[in-house]
Amino acid sequence: MLELVQPYTREDVFRLVDVEALKRAKRIQHLREDAFLRDCILDSWAYLDGPDGRCRRAILPQRWAFTTASLCARTVPPVHGARSIVSVTYYDANNDPVVVDPVNYWLEDVYGTRSLLFRTDWSFPRLYARHDAVRVVFDAGWPSALEVPRVFRRALLLLAAHYYDNREQTFSDNRVSVVSRSIEYGLDKLLEKHVVPLDYTGGVHAVSRRTHVLV
């Protein structure tokens, strides 16, 4: 099972593109729609970020956890963009939780994929028979909003401006298909180097409990 423990914050999103930046892009000089502009920015970022987003990866800093029934010498976190392992906990044969000493594991690129590895001389414990016998908590995304590549800022600005201009699902003429596909192609071109392939799979078959609730 995959769980979002700590989502990105509104403040991080607005460090990428704030209301004033969007107003400059749209040549808006009044204050009447500031609340709507904020919603456009937040909704656009929710569309881009996370394993369910356009890029299928963590971008802004966020914390995730996943559970699995077994320990493996190499485990790929189910969210692309893993940056560090916070903790590894397992239930021993007596069904008591045990925290693994961090000296016994690390995160490393293996064949181009971030992987959780364990020391070869570490004795793998006998686990209690339960589907969540192991819980791994990890941080993902760039370390801070200031370190996120500029291309994501451009993509966020493009999509937020689109949401501002097109507030309804349909139009009274046939422009809607042209507008929609233009935005999709533009985003794909901007983000093509950062989109995770569809065949990416982590170390567990996870069911996402992700939400777009921001703190």
- Quote the DSSP letter at residue 54: T
Q: Are residues 13 and 117 in the same domain?
A: no
Phi, psi of 38 (to 5 degrees): -60, -40
Instruction: Write down the pLDDT at residue 192.
Output: 74
Domain count of the fold of the chain: 2
This prediction has a pTM of: 0.81
Decide if 210 is inside a domain: no
**Residue 192 corresponds to which tokens in the numbers above?**
């093509």
Decide if 71 is inside a domain: yes
Q: Are residues 120 and 67 in the same domain?
A: yes
Q: What range defines the domain where residue 19 resides?
A: 2-59+149-191
Number of C-beta neighbours around residue 145 at 10 A: 20
At 173, which CATH number? 1.10.3230
Which run of H or of E encompasses 88?
strand 82-91
pLDDT along the chain (215 residues), means of 10: 95 97 94 95 94 92 96 92 96 97 95 90 94 97 96 93 77 54 66 73 42 34
